[in-house]
Structure formats: structure tokens, C-alpha cells
Chain A
Amino acid sequence: MRIVDRRLNPQGKNLGNRQRFIQRARSQVREAVKRNIRDRSVTDNESGETVSIPADGIHEPQFEPDTQVGRRDRVLTGNREFREGDRIPRPEGGGGGGGGEASEDGEGEDSFVFTLTRDEFLDMLFEDLELPDMIKQQLTAEASPKLQRAGYATTGPPNRLNMVNTLRRSLVRRKALGRPNQAVIEQMERELERLKSGEIAPADGQPADKRIAELEETLRRAREKRGRVPYIDPTDLRFNRYERVPQPIAQAVMFCLMDVSASMDETKKDLAKRFFMLLHLFLERRYDKVDVVFIRHTNQASEVDEETFFHGRQTGGTIVSSALREMLRVVDDRYPLDAWNVYVAQASDGDDVPADVPVCTKMLSERVLPVTQYMAYIEVGGDADTRPGFRTGGPSDLWQGYAQVAELDPRLQMRRVADAGDIYPVFRGLFSQEETAS
């Protein structure tokens, strides 16, 4: 009997099969992912996603009997009350004789439920989306450079010695220079010893002395050569070489600004939430670290946690500039610009005190946009007659003000969203590659 420990074998033997499966069901999975993003929390990005897709494209047909027709014998267990000849009314739903038997043929057209890993989920979600070209991650000389492998060197500290490469060279050199093998030398020594002790005689019938002299000479030369040709020569040595590569800033902070004044009802907040969530997931994939700062405002703004941000209640007027001011304060406080990429996502229903709009516009173009990589403004409208791009009462004051800035500065992008179904297309619109090309 043999016991083999397989636990350390590479895991995920079925990864390839899994990818093929998802590839096959791609369009259906993508649909399911779209449906599912509605229920995610904004910062929940650890978990994978359980999706349910129609079993159609991945169905494996077989010749199967139709359970609804024909005559069958069944044998079941656990009889208590039946006697021979009893008649039992057919149970509802299916020709099953009882219990769970009907479920055996349940596969068919049912939907197929499985869990995508986080990466698979995000791949689906952000398929062919890109950060706008203009947003290059800035390189800073001060940022700590990372070491990256860059070939081999002939010198270096011992801990970087590349064993494989060094020994390969050593082997080539030893072969080329004909360095005698230890085993060969030992064999000769043994033969010599046995000849000397008279245990064996030379095979060719020559006198033992002659053979002994011969052997001693060969042995001497071999030993001498071994001394001359070392096992490892300094020329064999190869070291891993590393280069210092400056690292782009790999962290970002995302500001979520939202109007929570009375006119923003739960539906509107929910729309905003979904948008924030998508943006957060998207940035997560681009940066090692993403911080999220939630700022809500009425006529004054404050930084809050996620829970309060989405569910807390507060009443008051609406002064949008207060939120921008608060955001700038937080940036000054905690996020030095040379180390952080700043993203701003603002959601509002467009209400603002008319006098505040020029203040916002000015602040945007002069102070906010210069420090941000990208700012997305979405206007959520709960009115029944509001459709993306159309608004019966004409654009809101805030929209008009922002639109002027957006024309001049492509870092500001704006969209209108009327219902949850729009969120994903709008998001894709903001980041799809065609958009950035224009």
C-alpha cells in the first residue's frame, strides 16, 4: 500500500473547464450580472456574485423518456396503509408515484445557479471599459521605486546567486575542459588498491607493476586536472539582476457627493448609490487601493459613513458648493495630491439655490477640476416625464452651470439618469472606449 499526499498538488484543475463554461454562457452571464448589480453594497467588493442564468445554451440534451406519458412500474418503500388493489389519486404535478421522484427529471429548462468569483464578475461588468485616456497615472520621482527582474549579472550579493544558471555554465565548462569525474577517480583508486594487494591481476596478462605504474600516472594527472579545473569558477557565476522601476501612484480616493435635501427621495438616492457602487468597483480594478469618502450636503456639508450617507435623514435647503468646499477640505487634510488620484462622483437632482450656481461653477473650474483626475456628475430625476437627455422643464440651473464647465474641461462628464435600468448604460457611456476617443 502506498499513501500519496496530494494536498500540495496544484489546485484548480478545473479552472480551464470553468473558464470554458463561462465563455460559453458569456452573453447570459453578462445579462445576469447586469441584473445583479442592483443589490450590491457600494463598498462590497470582496464577495463574488451568485448569478442565475437560463439553462438553455449550456443544456446537454440526451434521449430521455417523457415522464408524462406511458405506463410505468414503480416500487417504493415505507408502505403503511396500502393494500393490493388500492387506487391512489395521482399526485398533483407530474406523473411521479410519490415523494421526490419527480425531481429526478427536474433539470430541463430550469435556470442554472452558480457563483462567479469576484474577478470573473468584474470582468463581465467592465468588459471593454477603459479609464479615459487623458487620465494617465502620474509618475513621481519620489514615489518608492519597485524592484523588477531584469536579466542576469556577473556580479552581485550571494543571496541573488542564480543557482540554475550558474551550475549550467559550470557543467558546460567542466565538460569542455574535461574535468575528471570523482567517480572515475574513485574507481581507479579501488583498482589500484586491489592490484597492490594482489586481489586482482591485469586483464591483458601484463605484469601487475606495469599496470600499477600506469594507473598511478593517470591518477596523478586526473587529480592534477581536477585541481586546475575547479567545480565552480568565478566566471560561472550568474546573479539575478534587478532594476529599480519607478512606480506610478497606485492609489485613488473617490469622493461621493450627494444632495440629501428633502427633494432627494429614496428612489433617487438608490439611483445615486448604484452609480457610486459601479464607479467604486471600476476604480478598484485600476488601483491597488481605493479610499471612498462620502460627503452629503443640504445647505451645509459633512463627511459621513456609508450607512448614514445612504440612509440617514437630514433636512434643510440646498447649497451644492458646500459639498465641494468640504471635499477640498478633506483633500487638503488627508490626501496629498502627489500620492493620490482624486475622483469625484456627484449625484444631485439638480436643485440648488440659484445664487449658489455661479459659485459652484467657479469653484469647479478653478479649484476642484485641477486637482481631480475625473469627475462625473449625474443628475437623477424622479419625475415621470423625465428621460435621459430630455427634461420637460428644461435643464436645471445646476446642470446648465455645470454644462458650461464641462464644455471647457473634458474631465467633467455629466449624464442624466431616470431609472435603475439607465445606470449601467450611462456608466458604460462614461467609460466606453468610443467615448474617450471623441
Chain B
Amino acid sequence: MTNPFPTPDTRASGATRGTGEPAADADGLLFDGPEWDFPTVRRTFDAIEKVGTEDLGLSLYPTRLEVINAEQMLDAYASVGMPTMYRHWAFGKRFVQHETMYRRGFSGLALEIVINADPSLCYIMEENTMTMQATVMAHAAVGHNHFFKNNRLFQEWTDPEAILDYLSFAKSYIAACEEKYGIEAVERTIDAAHALQGQGVDRSTGRGRRMDARAEQERVSEMNRRNLEGEEDLWLRTVPVKRDLVAGDPEELERQAEARAMGLPEENLLYFLEKNAPRLREWQRELLRIVRNIATYFEPQKQTKMMNEGCACWCHYTIMTMLHERGLISDSAFMEFLHLHANVVTQPAYDDRRYSGINPYALGFAMTRDIERICTEPTEEDRAWFPGIAGNDKPVATLCEAWANYRDESFIRQYLSPRVMRDFAMFRLDDDTEDPDIVVEAIHDERGYRRVRQGLANLYDPANTEPRIEVVGADIHGDRTLTLQHTVRDGRLLDALETRRTLRHLSWLWGYHVRLTEVDAETGHIYAEHENL
């Protein structure tokens, strides 16, 4: 693919920003004070978008800003941030959870939610001050927006133009099913589908079966029509088939052919069940498909969380700084922004009470800024590590290229520099539960940089972090037992209780017995066998 970005004018980029712009006097401020109103938001947005597209050369979807209040933000939380969602008790559970946390003051609310749609949908909260609104717009409506539009994963896996339509289709389809087959039956199916959500994505093949929402809807109405007409060619199927004489055991051959036809081994359990579960009804298959499609839509967000936040943080930081240098926002507003920004990109140390893993905002922002620095002011070390980009003086183009073509795992493998590892004081542990001690495998020094980087990249690699579970056999002619296999790496077994519970859902969908074996990736040793009882 060709690089979709125009080469931006580097003079206006981060390194030399602010040159040549006469500082505007106080009258030139975009806003003053914490209050906001619609004309101010519009004026500020236009200024921010202009910086984003003209100065930075980003390519954006058009934006739709929606102002919501705290209640509505809680609502959006519960339905995974989407404006429409089908009904299910699990969303209610999430809702009461967030609500309780929020009302008791344990947690604040997000300042913004942005939806990967075309036009890009960006929710801002009415409680925010004008400075926060400006930050949020630069962060979400420019940063995330650019990332959604240009990242390869999003392009391949999602259909931003149609996602909102698809969700409202899903909602009304499920509501219609509830009307027809009863809430209980529908919830039972969705419960089971949700349990397998993590296995509803074609992760390792990477060929995200991107859905086409419009085609989906046509397909469903076509399906309904067919069902109505009852075009079941019963008698075509009852005609006996002549069996050719082929070498080998015919039954065995047939079994292999069937396995091929079912696409075994298959890692996308929801897809497999949708296509092959013998006892599911049409509408149930459709529900599985809906859950699977939504899981696929969200998969790129999971795989690029850190980069995406890094891109957004870099954008809000760069844009707000430029606006300030051009005299468009006041000093006090800029101080408020810096305070907000510092909170977002804090990385507590491992022994800090606030530590909960690596903060994706912190790492993303640090790496992005670091790439910018490598492009403009490289050190000797950088020249050795990144000969391709060091000192190329095209920071924005370099970043755009990274944003477009990488995901978290490959981004770290490619761009995590010794400097960032030192700043974060990263260290890699070898945590073997067989060993009473945890061993420090590598630290942020000359000997350890590559191993720390590799270790960190592995942590962001779904092929490494998500359990690999595949359907390996379905005994169609026997007792119809479905056999799954979990490929175990480094003895990381599944949680037995959770697995049994999940298998209960799985076997309900399959309709027959289900067995899951945990097999070592290298030795083939069978650790455990789980069955639904």
C-alpha cells in the first residue's frame, strides 16, 4: 500500500513549532475561563482541527461532537462505549458497577469517548471545563480519529462507515428475537456467546473477517425470505450418493474431508459454532454472528491500545502547545492543561500503591515523543539503534508511518529505544511458579535492552497472551463429541473452574458433549482434560 499521507511541512512540526507566528494579544484567545458554550467549542474545534490537518498533516474523518452529561456517560460505559447496543443483563451489571463506583466517589468518569465510525463520533462531557474540552478534542477528535482512519488493523478489521447501522440492526434483530422466542431463550444464547467472545476473533491468522454491515442486513433478510419459502430441497438430499472407489479407508477419508470442510482446526469458536453446531436454530446462529462481529470490531482497539493512546496524547500535547505558543490559549488554561496531561501520562513504579501494570498512555506518549526526538535530535545511541530514522528530520511523517502500519507488539519491537527503557527503569522478570524465587532476567542496561524490549513486546502480543484454543475434532458420525485443544506454552494452564463454566456454555450451543484437552506446545504432553458435566 502506498503511504496515504502527504508529506507534512516539517517546519511546523513539533521540533520547530511556533516559528514565525506572531503572538496574538489577549483578544486573540480562543476561550477565556472555564465556562464553555457552543460557539466557543466550535471555534476551538476548528482551530484544533486546522492545526491537526494543516500543520501536522494528519488525515481525519469528519467529526461529530456530542455533548452528554454524567448519566449518559455512565450509560455509554455500560454498553462498551457504543451509542446503541442490544439489551442484555450483563450491560446492566456493568452499569450498576460503574454507577456504584462513581456515586461513592471511588472513580471518576472518562472525559471523553470516541467511536471508530465515519463520521467519527466524539462524546464530550458537559461537566468539563473549556480547557478540558479543548484537550479532549485534540486528543480524541484529532489523535484517535487519525489513528482509526489510518491504522492498518482498523482498515482491515472494521467498517467504520457502517458500524452504527450494524449496531442498530443488531439491536432490533435481537429485540425481535426476544419477542418471538422469549427473552429467556435469547439471553441464554447471548450468555453463551459472550462466554466465547474472546474466541470469536480470527486472531492468529490475522485475516479479520471484516463484516460489511449492509451486506449483513441484506443477507439476513434474504435468509428470512428463504426460510419463509421453505426451499428445503428435501428430496435432493435423500437421493443416495454413489461412492467412488478410492484407495484407503473410505470412512477415514470421509472423516478427513469433513474436518476439512468444517475448516478444522478452527480457532474462532463462535464462527465454528455458527456454521457447524448441529442443533442451533437460524436466529441463534445470527446472534452468535452478531457477538462475533462486534468482537471483531473491537479487536484492533485491544491490539493497538497503547499506540492509539500514544498517538492521541502526542496530538493533544503538540496541538495544545502550539495553540499556546501562538497565543490562542491563555497561560492559565495552559497550566490547567499541563496538570491534566501530567495526570494522564504518569507511570508509577512497580512498588507504588497506584501501580497497575504499564500505563498505556504513559508508554505510548513516551515512545511517540521519543521517536520525534530521534528524528530531530538523535544521539549516538539512537543512530546505532535506529539508523533508518535517526536525524531524518521528518518526525511527523515517521510517526504517521508507524501509526499506519504497526500494532502495539510490533511497534515496541521496532521503536522502543534504550532511552525510554531507562526513563521507565524497566526490568524483565522470569516468573516460574515452580521456582520459589522470581529471577530478574534483564534490566535497562546495555546487556539487557534487547531482552527487555522483546519481553515487553511479547506481553502485547495476543498470540502470546491469549490462550490458544482450537476446535480440533467433531465426531459427526459418532456421539457428536466436540473436541477442543488448548495449546499450552510454558505450563500456563487454564483456570479449571472458569474453563468448566465456559464449557457448559459451549456445550449448550453445540448441543452435545464437549471435551477440552490441554496439550503442551512442544512435548505434546497432556496436562489436563476438561469436560462439561
Contact = CB atoms under 8 A, between A and B. Distances in A.
Nearest to A4: B66
Contacts of A115: 96, 99-100, 103
A53 to B, nearest CB: 11
Given A3-B41, A73-B431, A90 B89 contact: no
Contacts of B64: 1-4
Interface in A16-32: 16-24
B350 A76 contact: yes
Contacts of A136: none
Interface in B448-473: 448, 452, 455-456, 458-459, 467, 469
Interface string A1-45: 111111101011110111111111000000000000000000000
Contact of A72 (B357, B427, B492): B492
A112 interface: yes
A113 interface: yes
Interface string B337-357: 000000000011111111111
Contacts of A18: 92, 95-96
Contacts, number: 270
A165 B192 CA distance: 49
Contacts of A82: 427, 440, 443
A17 B443 CA distance: 48
Interface stretch (A62-70, A143-151, A236-244): A62-70
A169 B194 CA distance: 52
A77 B425 contact: yes
B349 A77 contact: yes
Given A2-B65, A72-B492, A77 B501 contact: no
B494 A66 contact: yes
A86 interface: yes
B89 A24 contact: yes
A62 B42 CA distance: 44
Interface in A73-132: 73-80, 82-90, 95, 97-101, 103-104, 112-115
Contact of A78 (B348, B452, B504): B348
Report which residue of A3, A11, A14, A115 has the largest number of chain B beta carbons within 10 angstroms of its beta carbon: A14
B68 A7 contact: yes
A70 B499 CA distance: 16
A210 interface: no
Contacts of A65: 467, 492-495
B438 interface: yes
B496 A75 contact: no
A113 B100 contact: yes
A101 B498 contact: no
Interface residues of A, number: 66
B88 A17 contact: yes
Interface residues of B, number: 101
A73 B441 contact: yes
Contact of B126 (A7, A14, A63, A71): A7
A58 interface: yes
Contacts of A251: none
A21 B350 CA distance: 37
A6 B493 contact: no
Given A69-B492, A113-B100, A21 B438 contact: no
Main SS class of interface, B: mixed
A399 to B, nearest CB: 45
Interface in B384-428: 424-428
Given A66-B493, A79-B425, A5 B67 contact: yes
Contacts of B72: 6-7, 9, 11, 13
Given A6-B66, A62-B502, A75-B456, A68 B433 contact: yes
B93 A58 contact: yes
Contacts of A78: 347-352, 355, 424-425
B90 interface: yes
Contacts of A16: 87, 92
A63 B492 contact: no
A98 B66 CA distance: 41
B56 to A, nearest CB: 17
Interface stretch (B161-169, B195-203, B218-226, B325-333): B195-203
B71 interface: yes
A14 B65 contact: no
Contacts of B496: 66
Contacts of B90: 17, 21, 60
A11 B78 CA distance: 13
B45 A1 contact: yes
Contact of B437 (A9, A63, A87, A100): A87
Given A61-B498, A63-B469, A65-B495, A20 B428 contact: no
Given A63-B494, A71-B433, A23 B89 contact: yes
B75 interface: yes
A63 B349 contact: no
A65 B465 CA distance: 9
A61 B504 CA distance: 10
A114 B458 CA distance: 37
Given A69-B491, A97-B350, A112-B97, 16 more contacts: A2-B63, A3-B38, A14-B95, A21-B92, A61-B502, A61-B504, A73-B431, A75-B455, A76-B426, A80-B425, A98-B355, A100-B353, A100-B354, A103-B356, A115-B100, A115-B103
Interface of B: 38, 41-42, 45-46, 49, 62-69, 71-72, 74-75, 78-79, 87-93, 95-97, 99-100, 103, 119, 123, 126, 183, 187, 191, 194-195, 197-199, 347-358, 424-434, 436-445, 447-448, 452, 455-456, 458-459, 467, 469, 486, 488, 490-496, 498-499, 501-502, 504-505
30 contacts: A1-B64, A2-B65, A3-B42, A5-B67, A7-B68, A7-B72, A11-B71, A17-B91, A19-B92, A21-B93, A23-B89, A60-B195, A61-B501, A63-B499, A64-B494, A67-B495, A75-B427, A75-B459, A76-B358, A76-B429, A79-B427, A87-B437, A87-B438, A87-B439, A88-B437, A89-B438, A90-B438, A98-B351, A99-B352, A103-B356
Nearest 4 Cβ contacts at the A-B interface: A78-B349, A21-B92, A17-B92, A70-B492
